[in-house]
Structure 1
Amino acid sequence: MRQDAKHQLLGRYRELEALDRLLREVRDGRSRVLVLRGEAGIGKSALLDYVAAQAAQMQTVRTDGIEAESDFAYSGLQRLCAPLLSHLDRLPQVQQGALRVAFGLSTGAAPELLLVGMAVLGLFAEAAAETPLVCLIDDAQWLDLMSLRILGFVGRRLDAESVALVFAERVTDEEGLSGLPDLPLRGLADADARVLLDSALPGPVDPRVRDRIVAETGGNPLALLELPQGLSSAELAFGFGGHGVAPLATRVEEGFRRRIDVLPDDTRALLLLAAVEPVGDELLLWRALRLLSIGPDAAAPAETAGLLKLGAPVRFRHPLVRSAAWRGADADVLRAVHSALADATDAERDPDRRAWHLAHATVGPNEQVAAALERSADRALARGGRAAAASFLERAAALSPGPRERARRALAAAGAHLDAGAPARVPDLLAAAELGPLDQLQQANASRLRAKASSMTNPGLGAIQPLLAAASKLRELDPAAARETYLSAFGAAIWAGRLDEGGLRRAAEAARDLPAGDATAGVFLRALVAWTVDGPVAAFPLLARALHSVTNDENLAVLWPAANAAVELGDLAAWLDITDRAVRFARTTGALSILSTALPYRAASLGYTGRFSEAWDLLAEAANAEEATGTATRMATTALLSAYRGRERSALELVEAAERDGEQRGLGRLIGMAACARAVLHNGLGNYPLAMEAALRGLEYQDLVVHHWTCNELVEAATRVGDPAVAAQARKRLADWSQAGTPWALGAQAVADALAGAHEQAEDRYHDAIGHFSRGGLGVFEARARLLYGEWLRRRNRRTQARTELRTAHEAFVTMGTEAFAERARRELLATGETVRRRTVGAPVLTPQETQIARLAVAGHSNAEIGAQLFLSPRTVEWHLRKVFARLGITSRRELDGALPGR
């Protein structure tokens, strides 16, 4: 069998070797992912068949993406997973529930994409526990959006489960599986192409014509086999159609269409039925054929022609046969076929597919069908299929006979597209909705949707005014929605920052007279208005009240203002608490929209405690979340933590990337944060003129939160440069912050007083600063205060005392991994006469991922909990832990804490 398969796949030796290697590695216990990518007919399906044949001793599951089915949420994924559902009860309850709801097997809250993805990852791992699993997905470009996203997520997280995930994807403008390992497929070499062509030619052909045909097809195997079909030697004398410029896939499809056109009418109708019935359900096909008065003998000509094979499921010779049957059909015949399929579909068991067929069978408006599609949209939303719901609603709007219902459904479709992360579709649907009669609230919601769509593509500078306009329309109609929209406008204005200096003022003036209400969003809105209009000091009591109103996880929709309020007040404990709850809530529920924001906030908060290793672990997790969501939220935190780490070249690259991104996307606050990161980096390196320059640039605009951080850096840099006027100005701004009364703010003010205040009070103020930072758990600032105090002591020739402070600071910086500050402390220690060797770091015993897993294991997390945090299957976690034990020379988790480097 193996040799036969290899002989049938002419000229594919490189590809076969790659697939053989993949299967060997999966048999050896590793997981492997591969995307076979190429044009239609290039041989992707044949290679999948080869994998299936070679994996005969393994479990094999397979599904195809079907263009006609791409509106059905999870359809491709459900077909792939159906044979594996016997393993479902081995998953954690929350993952079981998510998968059951997504597949329509039970009811419940709509699951988040991350939770479904983790459930599928776990299902694959459990299925492969005894026998390796091979998953084959053909025509991945036509999978429904949810299936494509989840399988892409799983493909990026597979590691040690003995699972092979092999996709075949046609080259398109938007490759849905980008970033996964791929194997590009090209045409056959000329010699192999000639051999294949000779097997398909009806008779002798001039060698020059044969060479021209090979050149025209580019060695595409399907074209070489199929284009000669039905053509005589005379017709082939000038190649395939002379100098035609149609794409090769189109020409192959036309070849299939010619072969279909000569078949009997009933056979063509059968092919069309099979083409528009995406599941390949043979029994359903026969029921529909009976409704069209077509007998079973109609199948024989199609099977004889090699176009179709009946069975479970019904399969086409190639997806282009399906396309040829579908696209070449007469419109009336196509509607009749959809009508028959609708009548043959059980309305109780599969109402959504029945509604879909009815929609395509309907000419002109039809309220009954539109209502059925709307119910399908509701069911899709209940399963988490926002993109599918949007498609159903869009079609329902088109079929609505009344302008009022048409407008309402178009408005709902726009909202569903927005929730699905497809803002580009929103403007056209809103324009359609606004053609019908919309009441005032609907008009206001349309404005809100348009503004939110705009803010998704242009989150800073361009989003402020549309959001303010939408909020204004909602003020009297829906005050709660108005408050949330004003809060979004504030968020846009904060991020626009220096690029729209009047943005915050406009938002504050517009929202100033709106009653705050009791909701958390209203309290934050009132606090931000006060911060903008009356200044930070006046806003401190309101910010504290708003912060303390976030009492449960359901309020985490206001995560960004809560985290910012905590830092503006200098309340590290609240920042840690909120971000911890947000991350735990997001991981438990699979809420990627919260997780992708919460992880960078959490990482930054841990960085200020001095827990930099944990912070970097969270940023690695954030990178995985960004892959799943397509968002980019960690850039500012990554730049800041890199500045603290102190590796100049890599840190500056990240800072410069943040600056470019801020300019391009209209995010002035990102520019301000980049300037702060520059100042941190240069202060750590002891390059004070550059630190002062960066801090002054950062303080050209008062960015929420960031201005305090930057003032800290400016006081230190200006003092070292010898510019007392600039240092005094920064000290004054920090004096205002100290009125918040938190350890962070009080410590920052004490450092500023020690650096730029009365000389006779400096020592007491250093002691105060160290005490405040220690009490507040601000490890990085406590170490920096000790470094400054030690430097001050050395310059007064109090070397013994200086060594104590500098040694403590140096040890802290080394432990935290803040290399530039550690080197600065080392140089100061040398100047006191103490011998200090540089800490050299040898080759790491563990990889970063292994270290992360080991730390979580030390913290008491189970394999399942570690896997949920790191988007890994529990089996992969177990495999990594076995490697960790072997490398560290231990045998159990109990020994990890003492053996783990850096603990």
Structure 2
Amino acid sequence: MFGMSGARGRVVSPELVGRDDELARLVAVVSTSPAVAVIEGEAGIGKTRLVAELATRSTGQVFVTGSCRQIHEPFPLGPVLEALRDVSTNLRKTSLSPVAGAVRPFLPELATVLPALPEPLDDRGAETHRLFRGLAEILAALGPAVLALEDLHWADAQTLEFIDYLASVRPAALSVVLTYRREDASPRLMAAAGRWSGGPGQLVLRLTPLDAVATATLAATMLDAAEVSAEFGRYLCERTSGLPFAIEELLALLQARGSLVRRAGGWERRTLDELDVPARIRDAVLERLGRLSPAARGVADAAAVLQVPVAEQVLTATTRLDPTEAVNGLIEALGSGLLGEQRDARIGFRHQLAAQAVYEDLAGPARRALHDRAADALAALAPPPLGQLAHHLHEAGRRDEWVIAAEQAADQAVALRHDVEAARLYEQVLRETKGDAVLRGRLAVKLGQAAVEMLHVAPTVAALLTEVLEDELPPVVRGELRLRLGLLAHVSDDSDPARASALYLAAIDDLAERPDLQAWAMVGLGLPAPGDDPAERRGWLERALVTLERVTDPDFPVFLLGKIAMVMLALGDPLWRQVTAQMIDRTTPASSHRMVANAYTSVGLEAVYVGHYPDAAALLVEAEQRATAAGSPQLGLRVRAAGAVLDYYRGRWDGLGERLRALTDELHESPNFGIDVQAVAACLEAVTGGTQDALDRLAAVLVDAEQRHVVDLLGRPTAVLVRSALDRQAVTTATRLADHLIDLYSSHELWSLLPDALPALVQALAADARTDDAAELVDRCEQEFERLDLPLASAALVRARAELTGSVSFLLEAAEGYARRSAPYDEALAREALAAVQLESGEPGGAENLLAALSCYRELGTRRDDDRATTLARKHGVAVPGRHRGGRRGYGAALSPREQQVAELAATGRTNKEIGAELFLSHKTVDKHLRSALAKLGLRSRTALAHRLTEAGP
């Protein structure tokens, strides 16, 4: 054949075809930093080629690329580190801060330009965060640059965490390109990609297959011809579904068969009916492979077994060839176009589909032999890539060596906070290891530790750990395993508190030598459960406090004191303040950031449900700062979720819906951590939208929460559903909901969680003519509330009694009580009820209270409440202002509530970061609100803002 481009047997298009529009849009976005471009598409669609073409057009920008691999390494951040290996020249004239030295162990190639390695930190999470900061600083120091991360559907968890982190800092001169197969993308990846939305430059490209015309054009460029026949173009498109990689493979096969002829300057397929080219690309690849020499085929087989690109010496050592044959075979395989050489001299298949086709064609014994040689070749590296090594040892049947390598790989993953990969490896080894009780016990404990750190745990993990409990284990191992199983029983999708309690109880005696874990098990026994004696629960919590005195670790008590305070809050026990004070007293700047963030988040979120909003806000601010310092996106996500819940309860709803939607997406794989967010998101949608679909979703969330035994969040959502049912005159539905919550909380002795719902429950019972039941409920609550620390109890009680008596003084007291406790929505409901009584009886103040309630409803956007209050106003001839129609409410020259909050905090001297931590907003969102506030006020500085607000007075 003549006229083929490239080396013998290689058919590659010298130019990009059919993607002109996509390339132009990419260049336009990426050239204006900061920017992000997301490229989605199936395997073989041309994502990598598009990125390569973009690199040639990115003039004036440093372009760095890294790719994810199908075989995971315990060493995370692979694609990011790959992208930065060769940038030492670009960094020679830059001045990097000491934090960039944290990257030194990960990128020895940059040793000559990086600062010294900083002193190690005690907290692994803090080490990770410092590494992220160092990587981000290096990217920023490159000047105008593009970071392309490819095949993110194979990304490890820490790479996704770094993408999250990079989205939060966004170096000004950096553009980012992310590629992945959407059909293989995890929700975690989609959430990470979604974090980049909202920036000044963003683009999402979803690549589609080429049509027949573009296929013909691509074929012509590959064949160095002016054109190919239209019939040939249609044939190629039909057989390849328009996938560029498939077109390339099929053309290479036809060329190798001698089935292409040149006519009048173009190319045609010879004798259409004689050719029966298989539709599957697998067959095309294998036929091309069959035309290689035995040496080249041997190299291709080795590359298929290795799966990922490797150094030449690893590839040739994996073959069964002598050195000369291996080199000659490698040259031929590269020339065929099946294999390709990357810029770092690593060699592998140009496309994963081709590698998979060749691998699947290998006979079992041949595969095992090649895996055996691959393991030896990788083991000779210093240091060996443990993930790859473990994979090949396993496939080669070298079980004993595999167990050692896999455990080492998992341990390395734990050290690097790569808990998902660690759990996967521990689980795999544990499943395939029988008889060795010591090994199985050690692996099971490690698996339990890693699983507890994960946001989502497969049910199979708990079943496997339970199986290991049947082995003859040392008591302390058995005890820790029971504790970990108990913790998993609480957070798994099918949570089982009774099983968890049994495991905690059984663990206590075994853990006599581990007071830290023993105290943890005691706290588990203090958790509320139906039918339990509250005094017994408190007894376990007090025992845990005593046991903690024997713990020498300075950080663990902070963590566990947070858990104890959380449970005491749920019980309304006033001792929670003393325990929280101990937690705060034992917290130092040197304390583990992860432990502190976890503890403070636990207490802060529970404080929201009990009504301690100022305490919750203060705790969550500290938790957010510690989560950031720990460099833990999972912890940061939990803190942001708790902050959103707090903002719902205290009526700070401006922009909250958008935040809740984003959090719901990010917590998709973590239902037990995400249920709080789902509940308030459904509440917000129900009260602001008022549609039946919204109410149905809220009801479904409540059912899910109760099935998961997450009962502390049920009060407010139940009240929303009860009030909505009463608005629709659905009294039976309202009383059913009310009775269920009363039975549930009374059986758990969780009277502390009733203030949120009490007025609505009494309304429902009274509407059903069950005034005696309602009065009995109020009396019982008053009796229980007296001994508990409940900020909203007083307002809730007088509001509930007002439902039975119609007392104006009770309603006024309730409204004022809610106002003092920063509960504007509850205050508005009380003022509306007060106005109804005043207007009906002719007492003064009715119109003023109704308009105040209506103003709050409109500020919050609660449509159903707005409609109800407006109807009441019309009935009594109260003039109301016109309702804002369409879109988000505009404030004109006035500051929005969020702008006012940001301005007031900025005037006190707080930085954007500090304001963001307090309001649970990103620093970019704070900056947007602050700039808007300054513009509306005609000011140019924070100093001027402080003067203006001081002059305006409180």
**In terms of mean alpha carbon deviation, does 482-491 or 381-390 score higher?**
482-491
Matched, 1:638 2:669: no
Please report how far the alpha carbon of residue 37 of structure 1 lies from its aligned counterpart in structure 2 after TM superposition: 0.7
Matched, 1:137 2:149: yes
Q: Pick the aligned partner of 2:842 from 794, 797, 801.
A: 797
Distance 2:219 2:75 in 1: 39
Deviations 1:139-158 (A, max 9, x none): 33333343245437757996
Residues 430 and 450 of structure 1 are in contact (CA less than 8 Å); yes or no, is this contact kept in structure 2?
yes
Q: Kindly report which structure 2 residues correspond to 1:848-859, keeping only aligned pairs within 5 A, or say none.
A: none
Structure 2 residue aligned with 1:345 = 381
Matched, 1:187 2:187: no
Q: 1:678 to 1:70 in 2, by over 3 A?
A: same
Q: Kindly report which structure 2 residues correspond to 1:343-492, keeping only aligned pairs within 5 A, or say none.
A: 344-347=380-383, 352=386, 356=390, 359=393, 363-366=397-400, 370-371=403-404, 373-393=406-426, 403-412=436-445, 414-415=447-448, 416-417=450-451, 419-420=453-454, 421-423=456-458, 426=461, 429-430=464-465, 433=468, 437-447=472-482, 449=484, 452-453=487-488, 456-460=491-495, 463-478=496-511, 481=517, 484=520
Q: Pick the aligned partner of 1:58 from 49, 56, 61.
A: 61
Deviations 1:672-717 (A, max 9, x none): 6532122355779999998667545543532745433221223356
The one-letter code of the counterpart of 1:659 is A
Q: 1:765 to 1:136 in 2, by over 3 A?
A: closer
Residues 610 and 816 of structure 1 are in contact (CA less than 8 Å); yes or no, is this contact kept in structure 2?
yes
Q: Kindly report which structure 2 residues correspond to 1:245-394, keeping only aligned pairs within 5 A, or say none.
A: 248-255=280-287, 257-259=289-291, 262-265=292-295, 268-269=298-299, 272=302, 276=306, 278=308, 280-281=310-311, 293-294=323-324, 296-310=327-341, 312-315=344-347, 316-323=349-356, 330-331=366-367, 333-335=369-371, 337-342=373-378, 344-347=380-383, 352=386, 356=390, 359=393, 363-366=397-400, 370-371=403-404, 373-393=406-426
Q: Kindly report which structure 2 residues correspond to 1:665-704, keeping only aligned pairs within 5 A, or say none.
A: 666-667=707-708, 669=711, 673-680=716-723, 695-696=738-739, 698-702=741-745, 704=750
Residues 471 and 486 of structure 1 are in contact (CA less than 8 Å); yes or no, is this contact kept in structure 2?
yes
Q: 1:189 to 1:892 in 2, by over 3 A?
A: same
Please report how far the alpha carbon of residue 813 of structure 1 lies from its aligned counterpart in structure 2 after TM superposition: 5.6
Distance 1:124 1:880 in 2: 30
What secondary structure is seen at the aligned counterpart in 1 of 2:177? strand
Please report how far the alpha carbon of residue 778 of structure 1 lies from its aligned counterpart in structure 2 after TM superposition: 4.4
Residues 72 and 156 of structure 2 are in contact (CA less than 8 Å); yes or no, is this contact kept in structure 1?
yes
Q: 1:587 to 1:8 in 2, by over 3 A?
A: same
Structure 1 residue aligned with 2:697 = 657
Structure 2 residue aligned with 1:500 = none
Please report how far the alpha carbon of residue 57 of structure 1 lies from its aligned counterpart in structure 2 after TM superposition: 3.1
Runs of at least 5 residues in structure 1 that lack an aligned partner in the other structure: 1-5, 495-502
Distance 2:897 2:831 in 1: 30
Residues 75 and 412 of structure 2 are in contact (CA less than 8 Å); yes or no, is this contact kept in structure 1?
no
Matched, 1:67 2:67: no
Distance 2:828 2:228 in 1: 84
**In terms of mean alpha carbon deviation, does 168-177 or 187-196 score higher?**
168-177
Deviations 1:856-885 (A, max 9, x none): 756755355567889998678767866776
Deviations 1:537-583 (A, max 9, x none): xx745566656554366466456874576467654444444444434
**In terms of mean alpha carbon deviation, does 380-389 or 620-629 score higher?**
620-629
Identity %: 19
Residues 811 and 830 of structure 2 are in contact (CA less than 8 Å); yes or no, is this contact kept in structure 1?
yes
- Relative to the length of structure 2, the TM-score reads 0.73
Structure 2 residue aligned with 1:31 = 35
Please report how far the alpha carbon of residue 847 of structure 1 lies from its aligned counterpart in structure 2 after TM superposition: 10
The one-letter code of the counterpart of 1:346 is A
Please report how far the alpha carbon of residue 656 of structure 1 lies from its aligned counterpart in structure 2 after TM superposition: 2.0
The one-letter code of the counterpart of 1:251 is D
- Relative to the length of structure 1, the TM-score reads 0.76
Runs of at least 5 residues in structure 2 that lack an aligned partner in the other structure: 1-11, 109-116, 194-202, 261-268, 549-556, 588-594
Distance 1:474 1:787 in 2: 54
Residues 651 and 823 of structure 2 are in contact (CA less than 8 Å); yes or no, is this contact kept in structure 1?
yes
Please report how far the alpha carbon of residue 458 of structure 1 lies from its aligned counterpart in structure 2 after TM superposition: 1.9
Distance 2:924 2:689 in 1: 39
Q: 1:176 to 1:320 in 2, by over 3 A?
A: farther
Please report how far the alpha carbon of residue 64 of structure 1 lies from its aligned counterpart in structure 2 after TM superposition: 1.8
Distance 1:778 1:87 in 2: 54
Please report how far the alpha carbon of residue 443 of structure 1 lies from its aligned counterpart in structure 2 after TM superposition: 4.2
The one-letter code of the counterpart of 2:31 is R
Q: 1:399 to 1:523 in 2, by over 3 A?
A: closer
What secondary structure is seen at the aligned counterpart in 2 of 1:647? helix
Please report how far the alpha carbon of residue 29 of structure 1 lies from its aligned counterpart in structure 2 after TM superposition: 4.0
Deviations 1:789-825 (A, max 9, x none): 44444444332x4456556656666666666656766
Q: Pick the aligned partner of 1:751 from 784, 799, 810.
A: 799
Distance 2:54 2:494 in 1: 45
What secondary structure is seen at the aligned counterpart in 1 of 2:510? coil
Please report how far the alpha carbon of residue 598 of structure 1 lies from its aligned counterpart in structure 2 after TM superposition: 4.0
Q: Pick the aligned partner of 2:623 from 574, 582, 594.
A: 582
Matched, 1:516 2:556: no
Distance 2:929 2:609 in 1: 40
Q: 1:806 to 1:303 in 2, by over 3 A?
A: closer
Residues 758 and 800 of structure 2 are in contact (CA less than 8 Å); yes or no, is this contact kept in structure 1?
no
Please report how far the alpha carbon of residue 46 of structure 1 lies from its aligned counterpart in structure 2 after TM superposition: 1.9
Residues 249 and 281 of structure 2 are in contact (CA less than 8 Å); yes or no, is this contact kept in structure 1?
no
Q: 1:894 to 1:684 in 2, by over 3 A?
A: farther
Residues 65 and 76 of structure 1 are in contact (CA less than 8 Å); yes or no, is this contact kept in structure 2?
yes
Deviations 1:829-879 (A, max 9, x none): 777776442464754669999999778756755355567889998678767
Distance 1:302 1:853 in 2: 62
Instruction: Kindly report the root-mean-square deviation, in angstroms, between the aligned alpha carbons of the 2 structures.
Output: 5.5
What secondary structure is seen at the aligned counterpart in 2 of 1:32? strand
What secondary structure is seen at the aligned counterpart in 2 of 1:366? helix
Distance 2:853 2:228 in 1: 85
Q: Pick the aligned partner of 2:245 from 216, 222, 237.
A: 222
Distance 1:59 1:402 in 2: 55
Residues 440 and 468 of structure 2 are in contact (CA less than 8 Å); yes or no, is this contact kept in structure 1?
yes
Q: 1:98 to 1:629 in 2, by over 3 A?
A: farther
Residues 366 and 399 of structure 1 are in contact (CA less than 8 Å); yes or no, is this contact kept in structure 2?
no
Distance 2:681 2:911 in 1: 28
Distance 2:128 2:350 in 1: 36
Q: 1:393 to 1:709 in 2, by over 3 A?
A: closer
Deviations 1:604-628 (A, max 9, x none): 4444544444866864674575379
Distance 1:120 1:504 in 2: 53
Please report how far the alpha carbon of residue 585 of structure 1 lies from its aligned counterpart in structure 2 after TM superposition: 3.2
Matched, 1:43 2:46: yes
Residues 110 and 384 of structure 1 are in contact (CA less than 8 Å); yes or no, is this contact kept in structure 2?
yes
Please report how far the alpha carbon of residue 733 of structure 1 lies from its aligned counterpart in structure 2 after TM superposition: 3.5
Please report how far the alpha carbon of residue 474 of structure 1 lies from its aligned counterpart in structure 2 after TM superposition: 0.9
Structure 1 residue aligned with 2:762 = 715
Q: 1:545 to 1:236 in 2, by over 3 A?
A: farther
Residues 834 and 846 of structure 2 are in contact (CA less than 8 Å); yes or no, is this contact kept in structure 1?
yes
Distance 1:771 1:218 in 2: 69
The one-letter code of the counterpart of 1:138 is E
Distance 2:303 2:483 in 1: 43
Q: Pick the aligned partner of 1:77 from 42, 61, 80.
A: 80
